[in-house]
Chains A and B, each alone.
Chain A
């Protein structure tokens, strides 16, 4: 039984394999949705790479423009020390 559970897990651990922003009822990627954008930036304010977050290429592109717009409007920081 234990082995079976172990087999089901992939090398990615508990991260889901599919894009979290492409599923049904996924949150809208927009520069006004700061709480969502904050989850996809590091503590310092950098944009997290999609290989870490499992976001698909299309949504990653949307995310990056949204984050950059939010930075311009001082909703998100460019850098935090």
Chain B
């Protein structure tokens, strides 16, 4: 099953700390035998409204082919983390080859 995931980490973290937290999730997918098809960073963005007293957040997006069980385990762990603001998980039919509109690397 193909999934698209977006995560928001607190803007109070350093870029490196946010990246580390994101990679923790990537390795969780790999460990369970899933495939990562696309992963991109949207960088530090202003939030439209405050979440947990944060007005900025690091956005990361990932497209993967894996079991839903991986997400369930990860979300339970991550919901206790105050630096983890939001996530969105949607099913997709296909992976787009080009970087998405919000991607940081799009202009490069």
Contact = CB atoms under 8 A, between A and B. Distances in A.
Interface stretch (B14-22, B25-33, B47-55): B47-55
B8 interface: yes
Main SS class of interface, B:
strand
24 contacts: A30-B101, A31-B88, A32-B100, A33-B101, A34-B102, A69-B88, A69-B90, A71-B48, A72-B86, A72-B88, A73-B6, A73-B8, A73-B59, A73-B88, A74-B47, A74-B48, A74-B57, A74-B86, A75-B45, A75-B48, A75-B102, A77-B48, A77-B49, A78-B49
Interface of B: 6, 8, 45, 47-49, 51, 57, 59, 85-86, 88, 90, 100-102
A75 B8 CA distance: 11
A3 B102 CA distance: 48
A69 B90 CA distance: 10
B101 A32 contact: yes
A74 B51 contact: yes
A76 interface: yes
Contacts of B101: 30, 32-34
Contacts of A73: 6, 8, 59, 86, 88
A74 B8 contact: yes
